[in-house]
Structure 1
Amino acid sequence: MKKIILGVAALLFCVQASQAQLLPSLKLGVKGALNFSSLKSDGKWLNSDTKTGYQLGVWGRVGAAGFHVQPELYYTQKKAGFKDQENNEEGEATLKSMDLPILLGTKIGLGPLGVRIQAGPVFSFAQDGKVDFNSATDFENYKKSSTGIIGGIGADIKSITIDLRYEHGLNNISQESNRSQKISMWSIGLGYSFL
Protein backbone atom coordinates (compact mmCIF):
# COMPACT_ATOMS: atom_id res chain seq x y z
CA MET A 1 0.00 0.00 0.00
CA LYS A 2 2.86 2.40 0.84
CA LYS A 3 4.46 1.67 -2.54
CA ILE A 4 1.21 2.48 -4.35
CA ILE A 5 0.80 5.78 -2.47
CA LEU A 6 4.43 6.72 -3.11
CA GLY A 7 4.07 5.75 -6.77
CA VAL A 8 0.96 7.91 -7.25
CA ALA A 9 2.66 10.83 -5.46
CA ALA A 10 5.75 10.47 -7.66
CA LEU A 11 3.58 10.34 -10.79
CA LEU A 12 1.70 13.51 -9.81
CA PHE A 13 4.98 15.27 -9.05
CA CYS A 14 6.43 14.27 -12.46
CA VAL A 15 3.32 15.45 -14.30
CA GLN A 16 3.42 18.75 -12.42
CA ALA A 17 7.12 19.20 -13.13
CA SER A 18 6.60 18.48 -16.83
CA GLN A 19 3.84 21.12 -17.00
CA ALA A 20 5.86 23.75 -15.15
CA GLN A 21 6.83 26.69 -17.33
CA LEU A 22 9.80 28.99 -17.00
CA LEU A 23 7.64 31.97 -17.94
CA PRO A 24 5.56 33.31 -15.06
CA SER A 25 1.79 32.94 -15.02
CA LEU A 26 -0.55 35.61 -13.66
CA LYS A 27 -4.04 35.37 -12.17
CA LEU A 28 -6.26 38.10 -10.74
CA GLY A 29 -9.61 37.67 -9.05
CA VAL A 30 -12.17 38.46 -6.37
CA LYS A 31 -12.95 36.49 -3.24
CA GLY A 32 -15.53 36.15 -0.48
CA ALA A 33 -15.23 34.01 2.65
CA LEU A 34 -16.93 33.06 5.88
CA ASN A 35 -14.67 33.05 8.93
CA PHE A 36 -15.05 31.45 12.33
CA SER A 37 -12.95 33.27 14.92
CA SER A 38 -12.28 33.35 18.64
CA LEU A 39 -10.05 35.26 21.04
CA LYS A 40 -7.22 33.43 22.77
CA SER A 41 -5.75 34.79 25.99
CA ASP A 42 -2.86 34.14 28.34
CA GLY A 43 -4.08 32.77 31.64
CA LYS A 44 -7.68 31.91 32.48
CA TRP A 45 -9.28 35.35 32.66
CA LEU A 46 -11.03 35.11 29.28
CA ASN A 47 -13.23 32.43 27.74
CA SER A 48 -14.13 32.86 24.07
CA ASP A 49 -16.81 31.32 21.86
CA THR A 50 -16.39 30.98 18.10
CA LYS A 51 -18.58 33.34 16.05
CA THR A 52 -19.08 33.80 12.30
CA GLY A 53 -17.81 36.78 10.32
CA TYR A 54 -16.90 37.44 6.69
CA GLN A 55 -14.21 38.61 4.24
CA LEU A 56 -14.52 40.38 0.86
CA GLY A 57 -11.64 41.37 -1.40
CA VAL A 58 -9.25 40.81 -4.27
CA TRP A 59 -6.30 38.49 -4.91
CA GLY A 60 -3.51 37.96 -7.38
CA ARG A 61 -1.18 35.05 -8.09
CA VAL A 62 2.19 35.06 -9.87
CA GLY A 63 3.89 31.73 -10.39
CA ALA A 64 6.56 29.84 -12.28
CA ALA A 65 8.11 26.36 -12.11
CA GLY A 66 5.33 25.00 -9.88
CA PHE A 67 5.57 27.66 -7.15
CA HIS A 68 3.61 30.88 -6.69
CA VAL A 69 3.20 34.02 -4.60
CA GLN A 70 -0.37 35.08 -3.84
CA PRO A 71 -0.95 38.50 -2.26
CA GLU A 72 -4.51 39.32 -1.22
CA LEU A 73 -6.29 42.36 0.16
CA TYR A 74 -9.68 42.10 1.81
CA TYR A 75 -12.01 43.75 4.27
CA THR A 76 -12.61 41.45 7.23
CA GLN A 77 -15.19 41.41 9.98
CA LYS A 78 -14.15 38.99 12.72
CA LYS A 79 -16.48 38.19 15.59
CA ALA A 80 -15.87 36.37 18.85
CA GLY A 81 -18.04 35.68 21.88
CA PHE A 82 -16.31 36.36 25.19
CA LYS A 83 -16.70 35.97 28.92
CA ASP A 84 -14.44 37.98 31.23
CA GLN A 85 -13.97 35.71 34.26
CA GLU A 86 -12.56 38.54 36.42
CA ASN A 87 -15.37 41.07 35.91
CA ASN A 88 -18.12 38.53 35.14
CA GLU A 89 -18.95 40.26 31.85
CA GLU A 90 -19.88 38.53 28.63
CA GLY A 91 -20.91 39.52 25.14
CA GLU A 92 -19.67 39.60 21.56
CA ALA A 93 -16.65 41.40 20.13
CA THR A 94 -16.43 42.64 16.52
CA LEU A 95 -13.07 43.41 14.91
CA LYS A 96 -13.09 45.20 11.52
CA SER A 97 -9.85 45.34 9.55
CA MET A 98 -8.14 45.41 6.18
CA ASP A 99 -6.09 42.21 5.93
CA LEU A 100 -3.08 41.66 3.69
CA PRO A 101 -1.89 38.04 3.49
CA ILE A 102 1.15 37.22 1.36
CA LEU A 103 1.00 33.50 0.63
CA LEU A 104 3.68 31.25 -0.80
CA GLY A 105 2.56 27.98 -2.27
CA THR A 106 2.63 25.23 -4.81
CA LYS A 107 -0.01 23.67 -7.00
CA ILE A 108 -0.41 20.05 -8.04
CA GLY A 109 -2.86 19.22 -10.75
CA LEU A 110 -3.80 18.35 -14.27
CA GLY A 111 -5.26 20.81 -16.76
CA PRO A 112 -7.95 23.08 -15.28
CA LEU A 113 -8.07 21.19 -11.95
CA GLY A 114 -5.43 21.81 -9.31
CA VAL A 115 -4.87 21.52 -5.57
CA ARG A 116 -2.86 24.20 -3.76
CA ILE A 117 -0.94 24.27 -0.49
CA GLN A 118 -0.20 27.80 0.81
CA ALA A 119 1.21 29.54 3.87
CA GLY A 120 2.58 32.94 4.83
CA PRO A 121 2.22 36.04 6.99
CA VAL A 122 -0.94 38.14 7.29
CA PHE A 123 -0.93 41.81 8.28
CA SER A 124 -4.13 43.33 9.72
CA PHE A 125 -4.90 47.06 9.92
CA ALA A 126 -7.85 47.97 12.16
CA GLN A 127 -10.50 50.18 10.55
CA ASP A 128 -11.03 52.38 13.59
CA GLY A 129 -8.39 51.18 16.04
CA LYS A 130 -10.94 49.69 18.37
CA VAL A 131 -13.01 46.61 19.01
CA ASP A 132 -16.78 47.00 19.29
CA PHE A 133 -18.42 45.17 22.16
CA ASN A 134 -22.15 44.63 22.60
CA SER A 135 -21.96 44.88 26.39
CA ALA A 136 -20.49 47.22 29.01
CA THR A 137 -16.81 46.49 29.43
CA ASP A 138 -13.48 48.14 30.17
CA PHE A 139 -11.86 46.78 26.98
CA GLU A 140 -11.11 50.02 25.15
CA ASN A 141 -7.59 50.17 23.83
CA TYR A 142 -6.64 47.92 20.93
CA LYS A 143 -3.68 48.13 18.61
CA LYS A 144 -4.23 49.53 15.14
CA SER A 145 -2.25 46.73 13.49
CA SER A 146 -1.40 43.09 14.14
CA THR A 147 0.46 40.23 12.53
CA GLY A 148 -0.45 36.58 12.15
CA ILE A 149 0.44 33.50 10.21
CA ILE A 150 -1.97 31.82 7.82
CA GLY A 151 -1.94 28.50 6.01
CA GLY A 152 -4.25 26.13 4.24
CA ILE A 153 -5.27 24.20 1.18
CA GLY A 154 -7.22 25.19 -1.87
CA ALA A 155 -8.54 23.93 -5.17
CA ASP A 156 -8.84 25.54 -8.60
CA ILE A 157 -11.54 24.37 -10.99
CA LYS A 158 -11.11 26.45 -14.15
CA SER A 159 -11.83 30.04 -12.98
CA ILE A 160 -13.33 29.06 -9.59
CA THR A 161 -11.13 28.86 -6.47
CA ILE A 162 -12.00 27.31 -3.10
CA ASP A 163 -9.87 27.77 0.04
CA LEU A 164 -9.83 26.36 3.56
CA ARG A 165 -7.43 28.22 5.87
CA TYR A 166 -6.38 28.64 9.48
CA GLU A 167 -5.04 31.95 10.83
CA HIS A 168 -3.24 32.36 14.15
CA GLY A 169 -2.41 35.76 15.65
CA LEU A 170 1.25 36.23 16.60
CA ASN A 171 1.00 39.35 18.75
CA ASN A 172 -1.23 40.75 21.48
CA ILE A 173 -3.96 42.92 19.91
CA SER A 174 -4.69 44.65 23.25
CA GLN A 175 -2.69 47.67 24.43
CA GLU A 176 -2.88 46.24 27.95
CA SER A 177 -0.16 43.66 28.59
CA ASN A 178 -2.18 41.97 31.35
CA ARG A 179 -5.11 41.51 28.92
CA SER A 180 -3.22 39.61 26.23
CA GLN A 181 -5.52 38.54 23.39
CA LYS A 182 -4.79 36.92 20.04
CA ILE A 183 -7.11 36.05 17.17
CA SER A 184 -7.59 32.44 16.09
CA MET A 185 -9.64 31.93 12.92
CA TRP A 186 -10.75 29.33 10.37
CA SER A 187 -12.08 30.50 7.02
CA ILE A 188 -13.65 28.94 3.96
CA GLY A 189 -13.58 31.06 0.82
CA LEU A 190 -14.86 31.10 -2.72
CA GLY A 191 -13.19 33.12 -5.45
CA TYR A 192 -13.29 33.83 -9.15
CA SER A 193 -10.30 34.42 -11.42
CA PHE A 194 -10.63 36.96 -14.24
CA LEU A 195 -7.32 35.88 -15.85
Structure 2
Amino acid sequence: MKKLLVIAIVFISGTAMAQSSFGIKGGLNYGATGDYENYSQVADDVTTIENGKEKTGYHLGVFGKFEVVGIFIQPELVYTRLNTEYNTFDYKIDKIDAPLLVGLNVLGPLNIKAGPSFQYILNNDFENSALKVSKVDNEITLGYQLGAGLNLGRLGLDLRYEGAFKENNAFGEMASDNNFKIDSRPSQWILSLSYNLK
Protein backbone atom coordinates (compact mmCIF):
# COMPACT_ATOMS: atom_id res chain seq x y z
CA MET A 1 0.00 0.00 0.00
CA LYS A 2 2.83 2.36 0.91
CA LYS A 3 4.57 1.61 -2.43
CA LEU A 4 1.37 2.35 -4.38
CA LEU A 5 1.01 5.66 -2.55
CA VAL A 6 4.60 6.64 -3.38
CA ILE A 7 4.14 5.70 -7.07
CA ALA A 8 0.90 7.70 -7.23
CA ILE A 9 2.57 10.76 -5.68
CA VAL A 10 5.51 10.54 -8.11
CA PHE A 11 3.13 10.17 -11.07
CA ILE A 12 0.94 13.09 -10.01
CA SER A 13 3.91 15.38 -9.30
CA GLY A 14 5.52 14.36 -12.61
CA THR A 15 2.31 15.13 -14.48
CA ALA A 16 2.07 18.48 -12.72
CA MET A 17 5.64 19.31 -13.78
CA ALA A 18 5.06 18.18 -17.37
CA GLN A 19 5.36 20.93 -19.95
CA SER A 20 3.00 20.70 -22.88
CA SER A 21 3.13 22.63 -26.13
CA PHE A 22 1.94 22.42 -29.70
CA GLY A 23 2.84 23.94 -33.02
CA ILE A 24 3.05 23.80 -36.80
CA LYS A 25 5.77 22.37 -39.02
CA GLY A 26 6.73 22.02 -42.64
CA GLY A 27 9.67 21.31 -44.88
CA LEU A 28 11.23 19.11 -47.52
CA ASN A 29 11.62 15.36 -47.83
CA TYR A 30 14.02 13.53 -50.13
CA GLY A 31 13.55 9.86 -50.88
CA ALA A 32 11.90 7.19 -53.00
CA THR A 33 9.44 4.36 -52.93
CA GLY A 34 10.55 0.78 -53.61
CA ASP A 35 10.82 -1.46 -56.69
CA TYR A 36 8.44 -1.34 -59.64
CA GLU A 37 7.75 -4.78 -61.16
CA ASN A 38 6.01 -5.54 -64.44
CA TYR A 39 4.99 -9.20 -64.73
CA SER A 40 2.89 -11.52 -66.90
CA GLN A 41 -0.50 -12.45 -65.48
CA VAL A 42 -0.59 -15.66 -67.54
CA ALA A 43 2.95 -16.98 -67.11
CA ASP A 44 3.47 -15.46 -63.64
CA ASP A 45 6.87 -14.30 -64.88
CA VAL A 46 8.52 -10.99 -63.97
CA THR A 47 9.55 -9.10 -67.11
CA THR A 48 10.77 -5.76 -65.66
CA ILE A 49 12.16 -4.62 -62.31
CA GLU A 50 13.08 -0.95 -61.76
CA ASN A 51 14.51 0.83 -58.74
CA GLY A 52 12.99 4.19 -57.91
CA LYS A 53 15.21 7.29 -57.99
CA GLU A 54 15.02 9.80 -55.15
CA LYS A 55 13.28 13.12 -55.70
CA THR A 56 12.30 16.04 -53.48
CA GLY A 57 8.84 16.39 -51.97
CA TYR A 58 7.31 18.42 -49.15
CA HIS A 59 5.27 18.09 -45.95
CA LEU A 60 3.04 20.27 -43.73
CA GLY A 61 1.52 19.43 -40.38
CA VAL A 62 0.97 19.94 -36.67
CA PHE A 63 2.62 18.50 -33.57
CA GLY A 64 2.21 18.27 -29.82
CA LYS A 65 4.96 17.93 -27.25
CA PHE A 66 4.73 16.67 -23.67
CA GLU A 67 7.94 16.96 -21.68
CA VAL A 68 9.00 15.84 -18.20
CA VAL A 69 12.58 16.27 -16.90
CA GLY A 70 14.22 16.39 -20.34
CA ILE A 71 12.28 13.44 -21.81
CA PHE A 72 9.40 14.15 -24.19
CA ILE A 73 6.70 12.49 -26.26
CA GLN A 74 5.94 14.15 -29.60
CA PRO A 75 2.88 13.02 -31.61
CA GLU A 76 2.44 14.54 -35.07
CA LEU A 77 -0.09 14.63 -37.90
CA VAL A 78 1.53 15.49 -41.25
CA TYR A 79 0.42 15.71 -44.88
CA THR A 80 3.26 14.51 -47.15
CA ARG A 81 3.82 14.62 -50.91
CA LEU A 82 6.45 12.07 -51.98
CA ASN A 83 7.89 11.92 -55.51
CA THR A 84 9.83 9.05 -57.11
CA GLU A 85 11.29 8.86 -60.61
CA TYR A 86 11.25 5.65 -62.66
CA ASN A 87 12.52 5.16 -66.22
CA THR A 88 9.30 5.97 -68.06
CA PHE A 89 7.14 7.74 -65.44
CA ASP A 90 7.06 9.61 -62.14
CA TYR A 91 5.18 8.18 -59.16
CA LYS A 92 3.56 10.59 -56.71
CA ILE A 93 2.03 9.72 -53.36
CA ASP A 94 -0.10 11.96 -51.16
CA LYS A 95 -0.28 10.56 -47.64
CA ILE A 96 -0.99 11.28 -44.01
CA ASP A 97 1.85 10.45 -41.63
CA ALA A 98 1.31 10.05 -37.90
CA PRO A 99 4.66 9.57 -36.12
CA LEU A 100 4.72 9.07 -32.34
CA LEU A 101 8.23 9.96 -31.19
CA VAL A 102 9.99 9.68 -27.86
CA GLY A 103 12.86 12.13 -27.41
CA LEU A 104 15.60 13.19 -25.06
CA ASN A 105 17.19 16.61 -24.60
CA VAL A 106 20.89 15.76 -24.66
CA LEU A 107 22.92 18.97 -24.75
CA GLY A 108 21.60 22.53 -24.63
CA PRO A 109 19.18 22.98 -27.53
CA LEU A 110 20.04 19.57 -29.09
CA ASN A 111 17.65 16.62 -28.85
CA ILE A 112 17.36 13.14 -30.31
CA LYS A 113 14.12 11.30 -31.04
CA ALA A 114 12.79 8.05 -32.48
CA GLY A 115 9.56 6.12 -32.74
CA PRO A 116 6.95 4.46 -34.95
CA SER A 117 5.34 6.25 -37.87
CA PHE A 118 1.93 5.29 -39.26
CA GLN A 119 1.18 6.00 -42.93
CA TYR A 120 -2.18 6.29 -44.71
CA ILE A 121 -2.03 6.82 -48.49
CA LEU A 122 -4.58 9.30 -49.82
CA ASN A 123 -3.62 9.11 -53.49
CA ASN A 124 -1.38 7.08 -55.86
CA ASP A 125 -0.71 9.03 -59.04
CA PHE A 126 1.44 8.34 -62.13
CA GLU A 127 2.76 11.10 -64.39
CA ASN A 128 3.48 10.48 -68.09
CA SER A 129 1.83 7.06 -67.87
CA ALA A 130 -1.56 5.37 -68.21
CA LEU A 131 -0.86 3.18 -65.17
CA LYS A 132 -3.49 3.17 -62.43
CA VAL A 133 -3.49 1.49 -59.04
CA SER A 134 -6.44 -0.85 -58.42
CA LYS A 135 -5.58 -2.06 -54.89
CA VAL A 136 -2.91 -1.94 -52.19
CA ASP A 137 -1.80 -4.56 -49.67
CA ASN A 138 -2.58 -2.39 -46.63
CA GLU A 139 -4.25 1.01 -46.34
CA ILE A 140 -2.38 1.78 -43.11
CA THR A 141 1.26 0.74 -42.67
CA LEU A 142 3.85 1.10 -39.94
CA GLY A 143 7.38 2.40 -40.36
CA TYR A 144 9.84 4.22 -38.14
CA GLN A 145 11.53 7.60 -37.83
CA LEU A 146 14.73 8.58 -36.03
CA GLY A 147 16.74 11.76 -35.98
CA ALA A 148 17.92 14.87 -34.17
CA GLY A 149 16.66 18.38 -33.67
CA LEU A 150 17.57 21.85 -32.45
CA ASN A 151 15.26 24.05 -30.36
CA LEU A 152 15.98 27.76 -30.86
CA GLY A 153 13.32 29.48 -28.77
CA ARG A 154 9.98 28.94 -30.49
CA LEU A 155 11.71 27.74 -33.67
CA GLY A 156 12.82 24.17 -34.18
CA LEU A 157 14.92 22.44 -36.85
CA ASP A 158 14.68 18.66 -37.38
CA LEU A 159 16.52 16.14 -39.54
CA ARG A 160 15.13 12.60 -39.58
CA TYR A 161 15.32 9.36 -41.51
CA GLU A 162 12.15 7.37 -42.18
CA GLY A 163 12.28 3.68 -43.06
CA ALA A 164 9.87 0.80 -43.52
CA PHE A 165 9.55 -2.47 -41.63
CA LYS A 166 8.14 -4.21 -44.72
CA GLU A 167 6.86 -3.57 -48.24
CA ASN A 168 3.36 -2.30 -49.00
CA ASN A 169 2.69 -3.14 -52.64
CA ALA A 170 0.23 -1.25 -54.83
CA PHE A 171 -1.14 -3.34 -57.74
CA GLY A 172 -2.58 -2.51 -61.15
CA GLU A 173 -3.33 -4.00 -64.55
CA MET A 174 -1.73 -3.25 -67.90
CA ALA A 175 -2.52 -4.22 -71.47
CA SER A 176 -1.60 -7.63 -72.94
CA ASP A 177 -2.35 -9.57 -69.75
CA ASN A 178 0.44 -7.82 -67.88
CA ASN A 179 0.20 -6.62 -64.28
CA PHE A 180 2.41 -4.35 -62.24
CA LYS A 181 3.18 -3.78 -58.59
CA ILE A 182 5.07 -1.00 -56.89
CA ASP A 183 6.27 -0.81 -53.31
CA SER A 184 4.56 2.31 -51.93
CA ARG A 185 6.35 2.43 -48.55
CA PRO A 186 9.11 5.05 -48.82
CA SER A 187 12.59 5.45 -47.44
CA GLN A 188 13.28 9.17 -47.06
CA TRP A 189 15.16 11.96 -45.34
CA ILE A 190 12.95 14.60 -43.73
CA LEU A 191 14.08 18.19 -43.06
CA SER A 192 11.56 20.25 -41.07
CA LEU A 193 11.21 23.75 -39.67
CA SER A 194 8.72 24.07 -36.81
CA TYR A 195 7.16 26.90 -34.84
CA ASN A 196 5.98 26.36 -31.28
CA LEU A 197 2.66 28.18 -30.69
CA LYS A 198 2.75 27.68 -26.92
Q: TM-score, normalised by structure 2?
A: 0.75
CA displacement at 1:138 relative to structure 2: 4.4
What corresponds to 2:95 in structure 1?
97
2:44 aligned with 1:41: no
The list of structure 1 runs, each at least 4 consecutive aligned residues, that deviate by more than 4 angstroms after superposition, is none
1:165 aligns with 2:160: yes
Question: What do you get for the CA RMSD once the two structures are aligned?
Answer: 2.2
1:115 matches 2:135: no
The answer to whether the 8 Å contact 2:36/2:52 transfers is no
SS of equivalent residue, structure 2 residue 128: coil
> Helix, strand or coil for the counterpart of 2:148?
strand
Q: 1:133 aligns with which of 126, 131, 143?
A: 126
Distance of 2:159 and 2:168 partners within structure 1:
24
Q: 2:169 aligns with which of 163, 174, 178?
A: 174
1:63 maps to a residue whose letter is E
Aligned residues: 163
Percentage of matched positions with identical amino acids? 27
Other structure's SS at 1:40 match: coil
Q: Tell me if 1:194 matches 2:197.
A: yes
CA contact (8 A) 1:172 1:180 kept: no
Structure 1 residue runs of 5 or longer lacking an equivalent are 1-20, 84-89
- How far did residue 170 of structure 1 move? 2.1
| Partner deviation per Cα, 1:27-86 (whole Å, 9 max, x = no partner) | 211000100121223998122111111110100110112211000001111111123xxx
CA 1:107 to 1:36, structure 2 compared with 1: closer, same or farther past 3 Å? same
Aligned to 1:147: 142
Name 2:68's counterpart in structure 1.
Answer: 64
Q: CA deviation at 1:137?
A: 5.2
Q: Distance in 2 between matches of 1:63 and 1:53?
A: 30
Tell me which structure has the larger Cα radius of gyration: 2
Match of 2:59 in 1: 55
